[in-house]
Structure 1
Amino acid sequence: MRISPILLWILFPGCWAVTGPGTVHGPLGGLVTVRCQYERGYKDYPKFWCRAGPLWCSSGHIIETPGSEAEVKRGRVTIRDNHTLSAFTVTVENLKLADAGTYHCGVERTGLLDLRATVELTVSPAVHTSTSTGRPPATTEQPSGAASTPITLSMSSNDTHALSQLSNVHFLLLFVWKVPIFLCIIWILPSLGMDRNLRKQD
């Protein structure tokens, strides 16, 4: 059975006197700020932040103001009221995964039910990026004292082309110079032998 808003207002007057963001989100290790609004008539009342329990707050208030605009800090949580804006802010630093859950931001009333708004806090885990191979990037520096590694030289296509041109030049020189000289030597040697024989005969 659904209870109408009018019936809720009659049973719990002032239940909409405090409004909050409903849901807030923060990164792991970061911070989150929650802003809750209240009606002007409650500016001098203490404002609080607590973790929601089965009925109201579990384990009391995490932090609360003394009813003034003075900032209050307790551990990783800070609260500050602004009477001009009729709003107070709660900041949670160094967020942990355990901080995720349901909270109440509200106005404390002595002898009466506290006025509160429910806020759901979510914390996202940190995302670690890595390379596709999972290996650290290679460095070009070599530590001092390390043994030298053999260096492999590679030749480009231009170097290969230059070497082939040198071999062609060597081949041409072989025919242009070396072959004629070799033929001359072969032709001269027999004539030298004949001259020696003639001299011996003389």
Structure 2
Amino acid sequence: MKIFLVWTLFPGDREVTGPRQVTAEQGSSLAVSCSYKPRYKLNSKYWCRKSSLWLCLTYIIQTDGSEVTVTRDRVSIRDNHTANSFTVTLSSVTPGDAGQYSCGVKRKVGLSRWHSTKVMVSAAVSNTTEDSNLSPLTTNPLCPRGCGEPPVLSQASVIYLLLLLSIKVPMALAVVGGAAWLRSRDQDILQRLEAPSSTRARGCPPVPTTSEPQGCPPAP
């Protein structure tokens, strides 16, 4: 009797093999492949979740011994007689899918042959969150100092800029006009100062203050 109990709980003569543990990311798909002895090629293959007593009370999905893919909800199973293996696929993995499972072969006579696999589910990594934490300095290698889009001016900034231009532009024009007027006035004064000297005869000194001439003949 003791020998029968041990054989029932541990029938593992490695007639069915597979991974001891698999990990899937939340929201992704999980595929588990289990191999079997060639003599079980036409037997039904199954996938079940173990209870708290480590027993498979209900099969989640199973084949009919053929290579036809069987699908139920998010789980599918397909047998490959050539490779002597079958694959169980679980789509849209959730945290609730984590636990102990068995992939096994049903026998017509005697107990089933099975292999235990632990399924673990990891949290999904959000690329959006990671990208939002990156600064513009690290996202654009061609612009190490940051050269994003030009800043958008607010309405108040635009009004202030227009008022500033309306004041500074007339002032600048007034300054330029005043400088031009002063320059033209200086040129006029210089021309007036140079005018009497141009009327003197070339080679003749200025007329002396005395009444006698100094070598220049009198004017005709």
**TM-score under structure 2 normalisation?**
0.57
Match of 1:73, SS state, is: strand
Count matched residues. 154
> Cα–Cα, structure 1 residues 132 and 181, in superposed 2: closer, same or farther, change >3 Å?
farther
Q: Which residue of 2 aligns with 1:149?
A: 155
Identity %: 38
2:96 maps to amino acid: A
Residue 97 of structure 1, aligned match among 87, 95, 98: 95
More strand by share: 1
> Cα–Cα, structure 1 residues 149 and 64, in superposed 2: closer, same or farther, change >3 Å?
same
Q: Which residue of 2 aligns with 1:51?
A: 49
Q: Which residue of 2 aligns with 1:199?
A: none
Greater relative contact order (Cα 8 A, min sep 6): structure 1 or 2?
A: 1
1:36-185 equivalences under 5 Å are 36-53=34-51, 54-57=53-56, 59-128=57-126, 129-130=128-129, 131-132=132-133, 149-152=155-158, 172-173=179-180, 175-178=182-185
Contact (CA 8 Å) 2:70, 2:78: kept in 1 or not?
yes
RMSD over aligned Cα, in angstroms? 3.7
Contact (CA 8 Å) 2:11, 2:113: kept in 1 or not?
no
Contact (CA 8 Å) 2:12, 2:114: kept in 1 or not?
no
The higher radius of gyration belongs to 2
Q: Deviation digits for residues 93-117 of structure 1, max 9, x if unmatched?
A: 1111100111111111244222111
1:56 maps to amino acid: L
Deviation at 1:29, TM superposition (A): 1.8
